[in-house]
Amino acid sequence: MLSKFDDYPIHQTAEPVFHTASSDRNIYDRFWYNGHARDGSFYFGVGVGRYPNLGILDCALSLAIDGHQYAFHGSRRAPLEPTDTTVGPFALYILEPMGRHRVVIDANDTGIECDLVFTPHTACIEEGRQTLRNQRHLIMDSTRLDQFGSWEGWIRYDGKRLKVDGHSTFGLKDRSWGIRPVGDPYGGGAPLAEFQAIHFNWMPIHWEDECSLAGWFEDGTGNQWHTDQCFLPRYEKMEDIPGTNDPGSYIWQGRVQHNITMIPGTRRAASAVVTMQDRSGELMEVSLEPVLVHRMKGLGYQHPVWGHGKWQGELAIAGESWKDSELDPLALENIHIQQIVRATCGDRVGHGVFEQLHIGPSTTLGFADWFDGAS
């Protein structure tokens, strides 16, 4: 099966690009974005995922504002042309590779619409390859790139129209691909003898002249089996960004120290102090003050119906909304979050998000069981 990509010199196997190099059902290729106001008044996220071995393309837009969250979900049979990233009224346009992207949702029955343009202010950074196995097989093997920028446009929801100002709306583009659990769980076979606790934290911050990123995976004993730490210069004009590799960017290697204070009865941070550190001994201590919470189920993560790569039919869309204060914070679908945070480092003030996903016990975070809340 040929596609438009076959006219580019990008082949990694003797097959056309349409054909994946692995038969693993969990192969995926995802666009993910966030946007948040400088004053913390709103947060939105966008996700588009293609699951070639499942034959599914899905998407979502989720907005948190005024204590409520609104979500648009869409899914379809994956088109044979991989460059087709439309799902009913939803469309993603790559205006320039590693440059501006545009997200449009036309008028539809959910009442959620948008026209948003992401403009980068940094080069892209490649996170380290993330590989995790259980006793029998590969669970995750993926690569991610990140690019910081801003958003401009509008979102319509609940009969209202939100203006997204490019001067005060920070954002990030996250592209990842490889293998991650998607779709319905595996069936059959002997049950696993044990499950692994997973604790994921991710902290992209926009500072005045640069952007920083820290991310780490821990197991239940506090062992960090994967970390990322990097810094990227910030540019006012997109044309000044020096391609895909910015000589001004640099990556730190080492453990990420953290002191996270949880909101009692939840797995969500009330505050945090994160110390980025390089093996050379250089340190950067960042204090985080959460401002607004966004539940990642609005973008399909752990969603009981609209989970990533679940078959919804040839074409389906839906909208939903909820009041955050009425949710059970320890339900599986609600524990994966991103919070807008105000970051400080000495006299410096930054704006970003703090993502948390905590499943299972943790000696460092004080969780004794799989889904207990902080005391």
pTM for this one?
0.96
39-42 CB contacts, 8 Å cutoff, 24+ apart: 39/168, 40/291, 40/292, 40/340, 40/342, 41/65, 41/292, 42/162, 42/292
The predicted pLDDT at position 214 comes to 98
Burial track 238-275 (b if 16+ CB lie within 10 A, e otherwise): eeebeeeebeebeebebebebebebeeebbbbeebebe
- Residue 77 clears pLDDT 90, i.e. is over it: yes
The predicted pLDDT at position 184 comes to 87
Summarised one tens digit per residue, pLDDT across range 347-365 is 999 999 999 999 999 999 9
> How many whole angstroms separate alpha carbon 107 and alpha carbon 105?
7
Give, in degrees to the nearest 5, the angle at Cα 87 between 316 and 297. 65
The predicted pLDDT at position 245 comes to 83
The predicted pLDDT at position 119 comes to 98
| Phi, psi (degrees; rounded to nearest 5) at 75 | -155, 150
Domains of the chain (ranges; CATH) run: 4-184+196-359 (2.40.370.10)
Summarised one tens digit per residue, pLDDT across range 164-215 is 999 999 999 999 999 999 998 877 788 877 788 999 999 999 999 999 999 9
Residues 6+ apart with CB under 8 A from 300: 47, 49, 58, 60, 73, 306, 307, 308
The predicted pLDDT at position 244 comes to 81
What average pLDDT does the segment 98-104 reach?
Answer: 97
- Residue 148 clears pLDDT 80, i.e. is over it: yes
Summarised one tens digit per residue, pLDDT across range 111-133 is 999 999 999 999 999 999 999 99
- Residue 288 clears pLDDT 90, i.e. is over it: yes
The predicted pLDDT at position 372 comes to 96
Residue 169 token pair: 């709306």
Tokens 């400080």 found at:
344
Classified as helix, coil or strand, 6 is helix
Share of the chain above pLDDT 90, in %: 92
Tokens 């985080």 found at:
288
Amino acid at 272: A
Residue 42 token pair: 């709103």
Tokens 């390089």 found at:
278
What average pLDDT does the segment 316-342 reach?
Answer: 98
Classified as helix, coil or strand, 95 is coil
- Residue 31 clears pLDDT 90, i.e. is over it: yes
